Structure 1
Amino acid sequence: MAEFRFVTTWELEAPIDAVYRAIGDSPCWPAWWKSLRSVEELAPGDADGIGRRYRYTWKSRLGYRLCFEIRVTRVLPGRSIEGSASGDVQGTGRWLLIDEGGVTRVRYEWRVRPARRWMTLVAPVAGPLFAWNHHAVMEDGATGLARWLGVRLLRTTRE
């Protein structure tokens, strides 16, 4: 079964606390992340957010939709959020934020494998298209978050 690993970094001219609050508030993401159609809270989790569960519905640049749940598994307040995904994709995601003197570096690591049958079947040849789509969606997120916070997006990179 195909597995994908994507790493995206955003550099925003913004205080880390503001960036962390925006990333930690998934229900608000559709207001600034144009690829995201909806976020539904399924469970609130504990005081730190561990166990929090959301269902996300995304629209890809390639025309298909992805629906998956994320369950928060680890939180370092103000610094990182990790979760496990289930649904159309299965795997893990991790947000890591670093303060670099007025610039916040946001690193997102996404390690998933497709669970939908058609995606599993075409993944060996469509991998580059899936990667292109992921990077386009993440670019939408970077641009939207900068606009939402009223700050400059300095750079996005991908591995």
Structure 2
Amino acid sequence: MTEYNFVTTWIIDAPIEKVWSEIINYPNWPTWWKYVERVISIQDYHRFIWKTPLAYKLAFDIKLIRVEPPNVLELMAKGDVDGVGLWELESIESGTLVRYTWKVKTTKAWMNILAIFLRPLMEWNHNAIMEEGGKALAQRLGAKLISAKS
């Protein structure tokens, strides 16, 4: 398996409570985040199906492992990628700082076999998805995306 460690930060000109409300409502993400194709509720977890800028799909199951409103949402992923995601929100003078840390291993054979060649493309793909997510979240909130970094 190939490991990836991503950290994305967004600064959104909106109160933390509004940002938290959209992030915790992940079953609704497909209505505003164009790369989230579907979120399916299954007992105590959710299956996410993502389409990507590189025209492949990823599916994985998410189980929440820590929720501390409105600051922390930690999850475990199993499927096409296995690992841990951590959303951290902080109120700052200009609005809300959102930090997303995504530590995963790919489980698809083709991704692992071609990782030595595709890693830069996979990193670009992730960053494009997250950049679009920050813009879409800000737009949904009627706010300004002040900064987005991956």
TM-score range, shorter chain: over 0.9
Report the secondary structure of 1:58's partner residue.
Answer: strand
Query: Residue 41 of structure 1 aligns to which amino acid in structure 2?
Result: S
1:91 aligns with 2:83: yes
How far has the Cα of 1:102 moved from its partner?
4.6
Q: CA deviation at 1:77?
A: 1.4
Hey, what's the Cα distance between the residues in 2 that align with 1:139 and 1:102? 19
* Contact 1:2 1:124 survives alignment (8 Å): no
Is the aligned partner of 1:122 residue 2:122?
no
For the aligned residue pairs, the C-alpha RMSD in angstroms reads 0.9
C-alpha separation between the residues in 1 aligned to 2:41 and 2:136?
Answer: 21
- Counterpart of 2:20? 20
Distance 1:22 1:102 in 2: 18
Residues 14-68 of structure 1: CA deviation (Å, up to 9, x unaligned): 000000010000111011101110011113xxxxxxxx41100001111100000
User: What does residue 2 of structure 1 align with?
Assistant: 2
Letter in 1 for 2:122: F
2:131–2:149 CA contact under 8 A, matched in 1: no
Aligned to 2:45: 53
- What are the ranges of 5 or more consecutive residues in structure 2 without an aligned counterpart? none
1:1-159 alignment, distance < 5 Å:
1-43=1-43, 52-158=44-150
Deviation at 1:121, TM superposition (A): 0.8
* Distance in 2 separating the partners of 1:29 and 1:56: 10
Letter in 2 for 1:133: N
**TM-score scaled by structure 2?**
0.97
